[in-house]
Amino acid sequence: MTQPRVSVLVPTFNRVNYIGECLDSLLAQSVPALEIIVIDDGSEDGSADLLAGYVARHPTVRHLRKENGGKPTAVNLGIQQAQGELIWIFDDDDVALPDAIETRLRTLAAAPDAGFVYSPHYYGSDGPDGRIVQGRLHAVAPHDPDSFFPRLMLGCFFHLATALVKREVYLQLGGFDTQLLSSEDYDIQLRLARSCKAVLCPEPSFIFRQHQGLRGAKAIRYAGTDRSKVFRRFDQRVGRKLRENLALGEYLAPACTTPLNARDQQTALLARMQVMASKGCIPEMLEDLSAALALPGADLATCAQMARKAVCTGYAWSAIEDDWGGLNALLPAFKGQRGGRRMVRAMALGCLALAKGYPGSGAERFAKARAALVLGLCSVL
């Protein structure tokens, strides 16, 4: 059989200090890419001159330039231009391992029904000369097909830059969501996981550079220290997209497409509650918990266990802390229903678990312990 061809897409914006090392690693693959398409999203730092040199020396390198609009618009342009059957989207500040294409093609060949392959990766940092230094491995546990999408909804456990994706799948999905100037990778990963089978390649494929340089499109340019705050804001949008577009049965593993009985409804509502909590969507989290409590024969012990767990999931605590007043405004009505006070106590225990068991400064631990105390008192008053 003819081996599928790989088009590498490298969206870039003002990364003249890193993109040379990135391209060198892509050009050094043991199985060469059909093409490396660099989509310059309006760089203003001399990247164009550097890229012109690569284009002149390497026939496989193409340079597309556009006005700045963010990574989604750049990648979508590259997908339309790509000639390969497989797409590898690679960030301009990272470095590929020499056998990255080879190992993932081998894995895909053994799973021809898969829509994409993904892998572990290494973390890295800048060395004294500015070149990347390989650090620890980010391992990825295998997931069976039934649990892959539900698990991914709770948190992103693999990096999009490890994925080789069939171009036809990207086209069927309509490309990246151009309204997302951050969390766009996670959004497309979720849509990929929902639409097709994934297969894990055990060999790492690249080194993910950790640095404090500026990131994002021009409209939201931010430093590495603000990354978590920006991601949470856009992850909330991703969470609400899931809520709007998915049937309740899709939160189950395996997904259920038939009408749900009361027991499965509770399981699905509590699963969606956790997903909403992980994205920092606290009103939606409480709405799902309330709906689960209202079901005939609701299992209050299970609801309480899941409510405690939800507070400790993803961005839940950060969202609660940032909008403490918003949470407290919702609690009176919530406490008025059957089991509501018990759920507030469970949330208090979740905050206490965070204070006791999670790393952080003394001030951060105190804030969580104080929230636990306030919620505990709220449950009885």
Given a contact cutoff of 8 angstroms between Cβ atoms, the answer to whether 19 and 95 are in contact is no
Q: pLDDT tens-digit profile of 98-108?
A: 999 999 999 99
**For residues 156-170, average pLDDT:** 97
Residue 121: the pLDDT is 98
CA distances in angstroms from 188 to 172, 174, 198, 224, listed in the order given: 12, 10, 13, 22
Q: pLDDT tens-digit profile of 219-248?
A: 666 666 666 778 889 999 999 999 999 999
* Distance from C-alpha of 138 to C-alpha of 241, rounded to nearest angstrom: 28
**For residues 31-52, average pLDDT:** 95
Name the β-bridge partners of 5: none
User: How does residue 212 score in pLDDT terms, banded at 50, 70 and 90?
Assistant: confident
Q: Half-sphere exposure of residue 84, counting CA atoms within 13 Å on the CB side? A: 25
Given a cut of 70, whether residue 257 has pLDDT beyond it is yes
Residue 363: the pLDDT is 92
Report if pTM > 0.85. yes
Residue 357: the pLDDT is 86
Over the chain, what is the mean pLDDT? Answer: 94
Residue 228: the pLDDT is 74
Given a cut of 80, whether residue 1 has pLDDT beyond it is no
Please give the domain boundaries of the chain with CATH numbers for all domains. 6-228 (3.90.550.10), 246-380 (no CATH)
Residue 111: the pLDDT is 95
CA distances in angstroms from 376 to 288, 304, 321, 343, 344, listed in the order given: 21, 14, 16, 10, 7
Q: pLDDT tens-digit profile of 58-76?
A: 999 999 999 999 999 999 9
Residue 141: the pLDDT is 87
Residue 230: the pLDDT is 82
